[in-house]
Amino acid sequence: MGALQTYIDLFNANRQLIDGHSAGVLNDVRDEALAQLARQGFPTRKAEEYRYVDIEALMAHDYGLNLGRLGMQIDPYRAFRCSVPHMDSSLLFQVNDTFYANDKNLSSLPNGVVACSLIEAAAKYPGLLQRHYARYADGTRDGMTAFNTAFAQDGLFLYVPAGVQVEKPVQVVNILRSNVDLLINRRVLVVLEDGASLRLLTCDHTTDDVQFLATQVIEAYVGANASFRLYEMEETRPRTHRVSNLYVHQEADSRVLLGGITLNNGLTRNQTEVRLCGQGAEADLLGTAVSDGRQMVDTRTFVEHAVPRCTSRQLFKNVLNGEATGAFAGLVLVRPGAHHTQSDQTNRNLCLTPQARMYTQPQLEIYNDDVQCNHGAAIGQLDEAALFYMQQRGIARDEARLLLMFAFVNEVIDQIDIPMLKDRLHYLVEQRFRGQLAQRECPGCDLCKPLND
């Protein structure tokens, strides 16, 4: 029996359990999501969008699922210490797919701002969830989104009312923890009303050396004149696999920045879809990955200019060493009538060894004449002339290589507007290039102790 039928049978056999540990708004969309999954199946390498990631092989593994939502007896606020010095943020946690917050951090949010689990939001703010949940994530086009919608039982809800400026960044630490191979379906919904602003930092970590598969769907609604900046940092383990789909809907004159940084991982597939639905909207998509060994990072973007006078910019850079593999595919779609569109897409990559592989495919699809659209991609090695020049001035070759790699990724990191985070990432990237950023456990961290201790 194939993996698809296994999960369909699992869903049908445990529907009452799944619904009973979730909420009505989430349960209402499960049947349609399962039907979409059944029609499409899990993506295969025959599909252009998944040609470098074998989803069927990932799903065929024997994972545990916590459908009964058994809790973990741990307080992440006591067990985890943020590694960013002097980081002043509203700190929230998700351990696997369970949301944790304490009163101190929630009280630091401005009046009217909501940070809670989806189950709590369904009880307290049902109208908001009904208007936005599963409205932007398109399961008809992506089988993994349909799978997540069918199985997700809880997640994180962030809401910022009209005109409210959240000055302090909100930091969400996602922790994967288990003593058996585990499949987690994580769901996030972010709603910013007109004129609101929010900076959100998510950090992915793994504490146990088992095989994890995390499917993640993030939906974000950004109202007129609103500002949303999302920074995602991944520092997990070689046996951690992440399939993340991010969907953003922008209204008029909104500003969005989406930045992703992968420093350690196993297999990562990040898909970002942005729809510019109001005139004057702007979107910046940024990303960088440092990969070695047999790590894999596959980045896919889709930006739809649906109305006139919108702007999108994309910059993605990868550094690949060892036998690492990277992929980038970006499609910018300019709809008929979306005149005065401005779009720029850049993907640049360094392959440091003959065994490293990078595949890139920037694309433009334009149905309007009055636009300014550019795209470009490059795959290369370090500039030998620059290395020679630096050596002539007394810099050792290894140090010169490091400085060139550091400068290469800095163009992405320097666009982060949280100073403490930017400084910490400069340090972490340098340590990563020097081979000193081990996938280590936090000294004295209760989360890092084996579960059977």
The model's pLDDT over 312-337, given as tens digits with 9 standing for 90+, comes to 999 999 999 999 999 999 999 999 99
Q: Per-residue pLDDT averaged across 378-390, rounded?
A: 79
Please tell me the predicted confidence (pLDDT) of residue 307: 97
pLDDT at residue 213 tops 60: yes
Q: Alpha-carbon distance 212 to 177, whole Å?
A: 9
Please tell me the predicted confidence (pLDDT) of residue 219: 98
Q: Alpha-carbon distance 320 to 435, whole Å?
A: 13
What's the mean pLDDT when you consider all of the chain?
A: 90
Instruction: Output 140 or 281, whichever has higher pLDDT.
Output: 281
Least confident span in 240-249, 415-424, 427-436: 427-436
pLDDT at residue 79 tops 80: no
Taking alpha carbons only, the member of 271, 286, 320, 297 closest to residue 411 is 286
For residue 320, what are the β-bridge partners?
Answer: 291, 351
Least confident span in 33-47, 98-112, 116-130, 235-249: 98-112
* 70 φψ region: left (φ > 0), alpha (ψ -120 to 50), beta (else): beta
Please tell me the predicted confidence (pLDDT) of residue 451: 44
Sign, CA torsion 149/154/155/158: positive
Please tell me the predicted confidence (pLDDT) of residue 248: 98
* 376 φψ region: left (φ > 0), alpha (ψ -120 to 50), beta (else): beta
Please tell me the predicted confidence (pLDDT) of residue 392: 77
Is the separation of the CB atoms in 79 and 445 below 8 Å? yes
Q: Per-residue pLDDT averaged across 57-82, rounded?
A: 83
Is the separation of the CB atoms in 97 and 154 below 8 Å? yes
pLDDT at residue 310 tops 50: yes
Please tell me the predicted confidence (pLDDT) of residue 452: 43
The CA-CA-CA angle for residues 312, 318, 324, to 5°, reads 140
Q: What is the DSSP string of 282-311?
A: EEEEEEEEEE-TT-EEEEEEEEEE-SSS-E
Q: Per-residue pLDDT averaged across 170-180, rounded?
A: 93
pLDDT tens digits, residue range 183-201? 999 999 999 999 999 999 9
Three-state secondary structure call for residue 152: coil
> What tokens appear for 23 in the block?
């909420």
- Composition of the chain by helix, strand, coil, percent to 5: 25, 40, 35
For residue 227, what are the β-bridge partners?
Answer: 197, 255
